Structure 1
Amino acid sequence: MTEARKSHEPSNGMLKRKAVWDSLRLEHCRMRDGHLPEHRHREHVILMALSDGCKGEFRTESGSGLSGTQRRGAVCVVPSGLAHTATLCGNSEHLALYLDPALVRRAASESRLASGFEILEKYPRRDNVIKSVAFALLGELDSEGLSGRLYAESLANVLAIHLLRYYTAAGIKPEKFKGGLPGTKLRQVMAYITENYANDIRLDELAQVAGMSNFHFAREFKRTTGTSPHQYLINFRIERAKKLLGDERLPLIEVGLRSGFSHQSHFTRLFRKFTGTTPHSYRLSLQS
């Protein structure tokens, strides 16, 4: 994760937590009653309510928007550059996702979609894909980037494709591959991971090895292996750590670093998540 921080802005009664990745950033906001002046963002903005009961109004320069009582899970999709303002009559909590338009354009191009597509302003009562991505990214913010860059990049791709499918005028659908990754390409990708697992591998690196776009590669890798590139990488690192834990001379922090985990706390939490025990307990079990 490039950045994670908290900031207080007493004048607006606002508490923000932020995280930034390539092509995507997240804000977790808690706000009190008041007026949010008109502003705009260069990214596509996706807002999701985390609380119920706050009365207010949200308006854009197009004249559209919504007013009434906030409901948990409600979504606002605001296209890049569209000015918007909000008035709140109570406490409110929400997540804001900011998606780089360049990523969406790249997804459209690599999926052979028409160049004239336009992301639409929409206000669905709920969207399960956006909800899943938003909470997954919130989990990354809470854990200070536990799952790594590859995970966040994969979620950004999911979000870009989802916007193209359900938030454009034509409701266009990306081209689909069939059959998964060919055996040769899959072996090349796995060999690359074996050689570079200790690095902060990017999704586009793996896609380049496979000779595919990021968007197609992530989907076809999972179709072939039954797991996402991110999950495969974490599993590989965990298996590497298990082998190293058999060497009693290596301190646990060294095992974590050699296995590709940049922080000891991340290593311990992920090892426990995937194995049900801590690295220390696992080492003791090998000795018994």
Structure 2
Amino acid sequence: MTEHAKYHHVSEVPGLVLGSARFADIGFDRHYHLDFHIGFVTEGIQRHRSKGESFLLGPGRIALMPPGEIHDGASEGGGAYTLKTFRLSQALIAGMTEEISGQPRELELTSVLLKDPRLVGNLRGLHEAMQQAVGPGSLAVQTQWITLLERLLRQSRAITPESIPGSLSALQWSRVRDYCFSHIDQRITLDDLAGLCGLGRFPFLKQFKRTIGMTPHAWLLRLRLERACGLLSRSGQPIVDVAHAVGFYDQSHFNRAFRQAFGVAPSRYRT
């Protein structure tokens, strides 16, 4: 039976629903979905059957379930387990497939079980981040969403990602840099930056990293922190005001990022 379940509709990614449920005893009966599911367990082990075969979904494993695939799920060994899912509508998965592959195509999906502990950890972090107030629209989450979906679809051999040649031109890089400097106190999205270059999000990510050697999020984060160092050195502004001035939505997020970058808290940097 289900001990508890909750779902979160990601308003900034239409067609995406995040699920989290804890199952005990019998799990769930045979059923199917009309959307595409990415599932992983964070506690316990699930045994599920599809197409006459039985699979174990445990630590470090990811299940990809296409629309219409009949399957069930039960606890392995009688213990409870927690299942987390990304549910993508057919329209969303088709749009993401076209964005990543560079061409519209009918996606031929089959059920796949992937073993990749690092990817599971990244998916778990993304699942949590997308439920935060500023999560789905942030540059970090948008980047991670596209990057992880590309990895999943590539590893499942569902698509071949588009080969993106070249790098950003000097003019494109200048536009991105100037925009980030002048809007540093505001939310900056992947759509914003890609649009400045006249590119889609996926090509922009590839060309930006090839040009700069960092992801757009990593580069922008460092810019925010460097600007914060200057404000901390030159002004007596409260730390929370410094955080807001360089685009952090709260002081605790700013403190964590600053400490990770410089080894000290912002309060220690200015003393």
Partner of 1:161: 150
Q: Unaligned stretches of 5+ in structure 1?
A: 1-10
**Aligned pair count?**
266
Quick check: 1:46–1:96 contact (8 Å CA) kept in 2?
yes
- Note closer, same or farther for the CA distance 1:145–1:273 as it changes in structure 2 (3 Å cut): farther
TM-score, length basis structure 2:
0.82
Partner of 1:4: none
Matched, 1:120 2:110: yes
The separation in 2 between residues aligned to 1:244 and 1:215, in whole angstroms, is: 34
Partner of 2:58: 71
Partner of 2:93: 104
Quick check: 2:57–2:63 contact (8 Å CA) kept in 1?
no
Matched, 1:12 2:2: yes
Which sits farther off after the overlay, 180-189 or 108-117?
108-117
Quick check: 1:104–1:160 contact (8 Å CA) kept in 2?
no
Partner of 1:188: 175
Quick check: 1:177–1:220 contact (8 Å CA) kept in 2?
yes
Secondary structure at the counterpart of residue 50 of structure 1? strand
Quick check: 2:61–2:120 contact (8 Å CA) kept in 1?
no
Secondary structure at the counterpart of residue 246 of structure 1? helix
Partner of 2:215: 228
Matched, 1:91 2:80: yes
Quick check: 2:40–2:57 contact (8 Å CA) kept in 1?
no
Partner of 2:49: 59
Quick check: 1:26–1:97 contact (8 Å CA) kept in 2?
yes
Secondary structure at the counterpart of residue 97 of structure 1? strand
Letter aligned with residue 261 of structure 1: F
TM-score, length basis structure 1:
0.78
Letter aligned with residue 34 of structure 1: I
Partner of 1:257: 244
Partner of 2:27: 35
Partner of 2:231: 244
Q: Unaligned stretches of 5+ in structure 2?
A: none
Secondary structure at the counterpart of residue 115 of structure 1? coil
- Note closer, same or farther for the CA distance 1:70–1:39 as it changes in structure 2 (3 Å cut): closer
Runs of 4+ in 1 over 6 A off after TM superposition: 141-148
